[in-house]
């Protein structure tokens, strides 16, 4: 995770700040708004649970297909879950939805095209993890959903809902989802 923070997350967190400083763009333009937190949380719960379930099922499909299971230990599960919720999801949403999608939408006056471009870049970005094409397709589909959540908000858009849903999807795909499925299968095989 340390390498991930240095190579991916720090540059993603800093780029919008540098852009804001050079252009005078207010940070609120990048989704840093908490005008409707209750609405964001209420939207995030069903969307996050759905995203978690789909991501866990997709991880299960990929594991069965490859015959390789990546299941975190309990201590790793806790560290990973905190990492995805506190760092990974907020920083990726800050960059891809708030900064990239928001800026392209303002420049082009074409929010749908901005969603498509940000989604494509978000998907391609996941090749940096040396993922195969199937996981990248899954990440791209998740990115499209997150972009639409950000797009369909009342003004000013907030990163809270896409960040919570993103954390749920990532947890479903990489940590809690595989952990729960593994424990469930193991209990079934023992019982």
Residue 191 scores a pLDDT above 70: no
- At how many degrees (to 10) do helices 37-66 and 133-151 cross? 170
Q: What distance separates the 2 farthest-apart alpha carbons in the chain? A: 62
Percentage of residues of the chain with pLDDT beyond 90: 82
Question: pLDDT confidence of 129, banded at 50, 70, 90?
Answer: confident
Q: How far apart are CA 4 and CA 185, in angstroms?
A: 31
Residue 110 scores a pLDDT above 90: yes
Average pLDDT of every residue of the chain? 94
At 4 the pLDDT is 87
- Single pTM value for the model: 0.94
Q: How far apart are CA 125 and CA 65, in angstroms?
A: 24
Q: How far apart are CA 137 and CA 61, in angstroms?
A: 13
Q: How far apart are CA 183 and CA 71, in angstroms?
A: 9
CA angle (18 as vertex; 89, 124 as ends), nearest 5: 45
At 2 the pLDDT is 80
**And the tokens for 189?**
């095989």
Residue pair 147/115 in contact by the 8 Å Cβ criterion: yes
**And the tokens for 18?**
């540098």
């Amino acid at each position: 995770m340390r390498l991930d923070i240095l190579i991916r997350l720090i540059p993603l967190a800093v780029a919008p700040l540098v852009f804001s400083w050079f252009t005078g763009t207010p940070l609120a333009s990048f989704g840093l708004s908490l005008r409707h937190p209750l609405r964001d949380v209420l939207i995030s719960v069903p969307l996050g649970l759905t995203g978690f379930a789909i991501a866990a099922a997709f991880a299960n499909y990929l594991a069965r297909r490859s015959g390789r299971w990546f299941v975190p230990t309990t201590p790793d599960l806790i560290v990973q879950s905190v990492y995805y919720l506190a760092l990974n999801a907020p920083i990726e949403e800050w960059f891809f939805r708030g900064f990239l999608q928001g800026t392209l939408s303002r420049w082009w006056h074409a929010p749908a095209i901005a969603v498509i471009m940000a989604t494509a870049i978000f998907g391609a970005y996941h090749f940096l993890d040396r993922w195969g094409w199937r996981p990248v397709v899954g990440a791209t589909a998740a990115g499209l959903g997150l972009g639409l959540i950000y797009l369909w908000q009342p003004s000013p858009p907030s990163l809270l809902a896409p960040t919570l849903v993103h954390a749920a999807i990532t947890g479903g795909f990489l940590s809690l989802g595989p952990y729960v499925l593994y424990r469930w299968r193991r209990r079934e095989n023992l019982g």
